[in-house]
Structure 1
Amino acid sequence: MDVYSNLKQGERGAWVSIFAYIFCSALKITIAILAGSEALMADGLNNSTDVVASVAVLVGLRISRKPPDQDHPYGHFRAETISALVASFIMLFVGIQVVTDAIPALFDPNHTAPNMLAGWTALFTSVIMFFVYRYNRALAQRTNSQALMAAAVDNRSDALVSIGTFVGVAGAQFHLDWLDPLAAFVVGLIILKTAWSIFRESTHRLTDGFDQDLLEQLRGTISAIPGVEEISDIKARYLGSSVLVDVVVHVNPDLNVVESHTITEKIEDRMRKVHKINTVHIHIEPIHKWAPKI
């Protein structure tokens, strides 16, 4: 399956998230108003902004599918990472709003316990979001989509947030009225933590950051290929969900062009099979007789 097919499949996950969030946010906000629950209202507002974040992911995936052009010779794959970054900003804004709204309610002596209907609504929607999370996580792993994995992480956070909302509303029924706004406060903190995690990963990729442990694994894979005498340089970076590898390989100077080219084909084939990396730029150089072998 090529990268464009993966991006097209990733759009399915974005659509699933959008429909799930529209349903859950409308249900939660309506019930929150009727039941008088701060926690469920915060949960519902969180889902309503998740609709916008999911649309951003969908737009990013669609832009990423555009073929290379004169201005983008490497394609538009980083639009997917940018969409994940946009989603993190939206989550950050909502998290701050939820936390700042929950603090006054937490210290309000006149705050009353919400109707338990709010709790059951939160529990019901948490089950929905858990199944959406499982679906999107499996799809993200199959398509190697960073934006969709970010959406899946957000789905999981929303499921946990709704469970926290249920606990807060249920606890308030036992005259612990402060539990409902406390749950809203915790919801806000979870949203902020999720936003920071996605923001950090997105900016790391956009600035060509790469996991050094994974880079060493790539080096080890190439080093084990027969004919590779030495690796003098290896670099890798993310291009959306894809990985682009640049490597300088030293081979026996007595090999002819065809034999050297055969080694590059083996490297490309091994990288596809072991690491699912389709783009490897290989520079072949003759090894010096005094250079130590790897």
Structure 2
Amino acid sequence: MDVYANLKQGERGVWVSIIAYVCCSLVKVGVALAAGSEALLADGLNNTTDVVASVAVLIGLRISRKPPDHDHPYGHFRAETISALVASFIMLAVGIEVLSRAISSLFNPEMKAPDMLAGWTALATAAVMFGVYRYNRRLARATHSQGLMAAAEDNRSDALVSVGTFAGVAGAQFQLHWLDPLTALVVGGIILKTAWSIFREAAHRLTDGFDRGELEALRSTIAQIPGVKDIKDIKARYHGSSVLVDVVIHVDPRLNVTESHTITEDIEARMRAAHNVNAVHIHIEPDERSQR
């Protein structure tokens, strides 16, 4: 599938997330205020900020689809990674706010058990978000979209948070009033952990980090191409959802230009088929061993 087609498919997943988050946040916040549940309110606020984070991812995907121009000859694909970074910052701010509210409520001596309606609301929305997570994860893997995968991971965290919210509200019914704010505290911790995970991956990609195991897999594929005598150097980096590979290979010095070019075409075709890599810059050098 074409890179731009992948980005367009990714947008569909983000829209699904946005619609789900808007509906869930409105229901959760409304029920939380009526039922007096700190845990469900924290959960609802989390979904509210997820709307903003999802919009950031959507904007990143839209910008990524812009074709190359005079000052962006490689295109705008990294806008998708930047959007994931922005989403992590938003989640960080919300996580801190949720933790602050939870700690304050936990030490409130006048705590009361929330209405069980809050628990059932949390459980129902957990089922919704888990369905959204599975949909977006499938789509992210098919389109190789980092922004959409970040959104999918957030969907899963939200589903687990809502399950925890249900447990906290249910436990509070048995005179364990502290379980509701304690659950809100756990929710805040999960939000911060997810934010850190997304930030770390996005920052790693923006600084041209690349997994060594994946790089060795690319090297192995190229080494198996007929005509490649040796691989002098290989580098790879992410450009949004795409991978850019630079490789220096040694070939028989007796080959003519056409024969050498055929080897580069074989490398490009194999990289596309085996690793979905569409951009490979290949530098050819004569193999000194073959000259002896």
Q: TM-score range by the shorter chain?
A: over 0.9
Query: Quick one: which amino acid aligns to residue 160 of structure 1?
Result: L
Query: Quick one: which amino acid aligns to residue 190 of structure 1?
Result: I
The equivalent of 2:112 in structure 1 is: 112
Distance (whole Å) between structure 2 residues aligned to residue 104 and residue 251 of structure 1: 68
The equivalent of 2:181 in structure 1 is: 181
The equivalent of 2:45 in structure 1 is: 45
Tell whether the 8 Å contact from 2:253 to 2:291 is kept in structure 1 after alignment.
no
Query: Superposition pairs for residues 66-81 of structure 1, below 5 Å?
Result: 66-81=66-81
The Cα of 1:204 is off from its aligned counterpart by 0.4
Q: Please state whether the residue corresponding to 2:75 is helix, strand or coil.
A: coil
The equivalent of 2:194 in structure 1 is: 194
TM-score (norm 2): 0.99
Distance (whole Å) between structure 2 residues aligned to residue 30 and residue 289 of structure 1: 75
The equivalent of 2:163 in structure 1 is: 163
Assess, with a 3 A threshold, how the Cα gap between structure 1 residues 266 and 31 changes in structure 2: closer, same or farther.
same
Q: CA RMSD in A?
A: 1.0
Distance (whole Å) between structure 2 residues aligned to residue 32 and residue 104 of structure 1: 17
The equivalent of 1:239 in structure 2 is: 239
Distance (whole Å) between structure 1 residues aligned to residue 239 and residue 2 of structure 2: 14
The equivalent of 1:149 in structure 2 is: 149
Q: Deviations over 1:85-127 (max 9, x none)?
A: 0000000000000001101211212100000000000000000
The Cα of 1:290 is off from its aligned counterpart by 7.3
Q: Please state whether the residue corresponding to 1:237 is helix, strand or coil.
A: strand
Q: Please state whether the residue corresponding to 2:288 is helix, strand or coil.
A: coil
Q: Find out whether 1:86 has 2:62 as its counterpart.
A: no
The Cα of 1:53 is off from its aligned counterpart by 0.3
Q: Percent identity?
A: 74
Q: Please state whether the residue corresponding to 1:62 is helix, strand or coil.
A: helix
The equivalent of 2:138 in structure 1 is: 138
Distance (whole Å) between structure 2 residues aligned to residue 193 and residue 86 of structure 1: 15
Distance (whole Å) between structure 1 residues aligned to residue 106 and residue 221 of structure 2: 55
Q: Please state whether the residue corresponding to 2:120 is helix, strand or coil.
A: helix
Query: Quick one: which amino acid aligns to residue 25 of structure 1?
Result: S
Assess, with a 3 A threshold, how the Cα gap between structure 1 residues 183 and 261 changes in structure 2: closer, same or farther.
same
The equivalent of 2:102 in structure 1 is: 102
Q: Deviations over 1:51-85 (max 9, x none)?
A: 00000000000000000000100000000000000
| Greater shift in the superposed pair: 15-24 or 283-292 | 283-292
Q: Please state whether the residue corresponding to 1:73 is helix, strand or coil.
A: coil
The Cα of 1:32 is off from its aligned counterpart by 0.2
The equivalent of 1:206 in structure 2 is: 206
Query: Superposition pairs for residues 27-66 of structure 1, below 5 Å?
Result: 27-66=27-66
Distance (whole Å) between structure 2 residues aligned to residue 53 and residue 30 of structure 1: 21
Q: Deviations over 1:234-293 (max 9, x none)?
A: 00000000000000010001111111111101100100000000000001111102799x
Query: Quick one: which amino acid aligns to residue 164 of structure 2?
Result: G
Distance (whole Å) between structure 2 residues aligned to residue 11 and residue 276 of structure 1: 20
Query: Quick one: which amino acid aligns to residue 105 of structure 2?
Result: A
Distance (whole Å) between structure 1 residues aligned to residue 23 and residue 289 of structure 2: 68
Distance (whole Å) between structure 2 residues aligned to residue 116 and residue 129 of structure 1: 20
TM-score (norm 1): 0.98
Query: Quick one: which amino acid aligns to residue 56 of structure 1?
Result: A
Query: Quick one: which amino acid aligns to residue 250 of structure 1?
Result: H
Distance (whole Å) between structure 2 residues aligned to residue 236 and residue 190 of structure 1: 32
Distance (whole Å) between structure 1 residues aligned to residue 291 and residue 154 of structure 2: 50
Query: Superposition pairs for residues 10-25 of structure 1, below 5 Å?
Result: 10-25=10-25
- What residue ranges of structure 2 are gaps of 5+ in the alignment? none
Tell whether the 8 Å contact from 2:253 to 2:290 is kept in structure 1 after alignment.
no
Query: Quick one: which amino acid aligns to residue 8 of structure 2?
Result: K
Distance (whole Å) between structure 1 residues aligned to residue 176 and residue 108 of structure 2: 13
Distance (whole Å) between structure 1 residues aligned to residue 178 and residue 55 of structure 2: 35
Distance (whole Å) between structure 2 residues aligned to residue 290 and residue 89 of structure 1: 54
Query: Quick one: which amino acid aligns to residue 20 of structure 2?
Result: A
The equivalent of 2:248 in structure 1 is: 248
Distance (whole Å) between structure 1 residues aligned to residue 113 and residue 229 of structure 2: 72
